[in-house]
Amino acid sequence: MASRVSKLRNCFHTSSVVCHDNPLGLPVKGTPPTLRMARGLPTKSPIKGVKHVVAVASGKGGVGKSTTAGTYTHNYACAIASSLISILVNLAVALASQNITTGLLDADLFGPSIPRMMNLNSTPETTPQNLLRPLTNYGVKCMSMGFLIDRDAPIVWRGLMVMKALEQLLRQVEWGVDVLVVDMPPGTGDTQLTVSQSVVVDGAVIVSTPQDVALGDVRKGVNMFRKVGIPIFGLVQNMSLYHCPNCSHTSYIFGNQDHLLSTANSMDLDILANIPLHPDVCATSDAGTPIVIAQPTSVHAEVYQGLARKVADKLGLQSSQSNKHLHS
């Protein structure tokens, strides 16, 4: 089995089967089919072994990256930078803890973060059917480009290779889950179009901070999903406020909620959750232990569990709290 795993990682870098039709270098039988660009929109189809798909996305800017170089300490800057992926990971783990079989796909091919935040560093095995077998931790089945390349290796691909690789990560994986949570990179580019136009997505969760620059991109993201017929489950307000642990003072670091609430009302969006800013979210994520696992009775964990229940309700799934997934 070890040689099979080593072969998969090596073929990604060296095998002649790595091409536009097979960028991951997965084992194939016979000659790979020629990829042809079809006219018009592709036909949406479900993913085998996946009952429901939920996309988690943010706008292009304003959710934290540009603020990291500002006046905050390292801990708070770190919390900002890793905020979206922390929401995604904790949502997936919370769903799994509620007895919903859950998968997590890292669709950010150029900057995969799932391996570190889910404390996974192995290479996926391949099944006899030449499918990738997801790596599992905290009850969540995970797939990421980060499992297939060295940690410091860059992905330098054009759009066609990116789209095909994403198709392989979506469809050439042995999922077997009730819900697949997809981490969408910021923006409205090739990845978003590939997922939204080729996969039956049940709904999207949009993440934003209260800043005006972020809310402008929220509108673009919402309009994109609606244009391709994907329902919007609602909006998650991230870093909504900060509670000082010393004096209990509450600060709205990124502005009050008025503009966000106005945007949500004007676009007919539900507010699914309000997540306060706290450095522990970053610290636990960097350690590979989501806060839902590390601090299950904390305010943040309760917020994520509530978010998971709302997403499950949107999907028509019955959730029930359980402790069976609360350990690696």
Q: Is it the case that residue 1 has pLDDT exceeding 70?
A: no
Answer yes or no: is pLDDT of 92 > 90: yes
User: 5-13: long-range contacts (C-beta < 8 A, 24 or more apart)?
Assistant: 5/122, 5/123, 5/124, 5/125, 6/123, 8/123, 8/124, 8/125, 8/126, 8/148, 9/123, 9/148, 12/148, 12/149, 13/149
- Report the DSSP beta bridge partners of residue 293: none
User: What pLDDT is recorded for position 8?
Assistant: 54
Q: Report the candidate in 117, 146, 78, 140 with the shortest Cα–Cα distance to residue 308.
A: 140
Contacting residues for 302 by C-beta, under 8 A, at least 6 apart: none
**Residue 92, φ and ψ in degrees, nearest 5:** -65, -45
Cα 318 versus chain centre, distance: 22
**Residue 26 or residue 219, greater confidence:** 219
Q: Which of 135-139, 199-203, 227-231, 241-245 has the lowest mean pLDDT?
A: 241-245
Query: Are 58 and 262 a contacting pair, CB within 8 Å?
Result: no
Whether 193 is in a domain gets the answer yes
Give the total number of structural domains in the chain.
1
pLDDT confidence of residue 9: 57
Cβ 88 vs Cβ 58: under 8 Å:
no
pLDDT at position 238, please? 83
Average pLDDT, the chain: 80
Taking phi over 0 as left and psi of -120 to 50 as alpha, with beta for the rest, 223 belongs to alpha
**Is pLDDT of 278 > 90?**
no
Confidence bin at 322 (pLDDT 50/70/90): low
Q: Is residue 136 part of a domain?
A: yes
Q: Please report which confidence band the pLDDT of residue 16 belongs to, taking 50, 70 and 90 as the band edges.
A: very low
Neighbours of 200 (CB within 10 A): 13
pLDDT band at 72 (very low <50, low <70, confident <90, very high): very low
Label residue 76 by pLDDT band (50, 70, 90).
very low
Q: Is residue 31 part of a domain?
A: no
In a domain, 131, yes or no: yes
Structure tokens at 305: 């569990």
pLDDT band at 65 (very low <50, low <70, confident <90, very high): very low
Domain of residue 137: give its range: 49-314
The pLDDT tens digits for 114-168 are 999 999 989 999 999 999 999 999 999 999 998 988 877 777 777 788 888 899 9
- DSSP for 219-249, please give it: HHHHHHHHHTT--EEEEEEET--EE-TTT--
In a domain, 328, yes or no: no
- CA of residue 17 relative to chain centroid, distance: 28
Q: How confident is the model at residue 39 (pLDDT cuts 50, 70, 90)?
A: low
Mean pLDDT of 300-307: 94
- In a domain, residue 15? The reply is no
Mean pLDDT of 26-45: 62
Q: What is the pLDDT of residue 231?
A: 96
CATH number at residue 80: 3.40.50.300
- 39 vs 252, higher pLDDT: 252
Mean pLDDT score, 38-53: 83
Cα 265 to Cα 288: distance, rounded to the nearest angstrom: 36
Average pLDDT over residues 217-241: 88
Q: What is the structure's pLDDT at 19?
A: 65
Beta strand segments in the chain, E:
50-58, 102-106, 135-137, 140-144, 177-183, 203-208, 232-238, 242-243, 250-251, 271-275
pTM check: above 0.85: no
Please check whether residue 40 lies inside any domain of the structure.
no
- Asked whether residue 198 is domain-assigned, the answer is yes
142 alpha carbon, distance to own chain's centre: 10
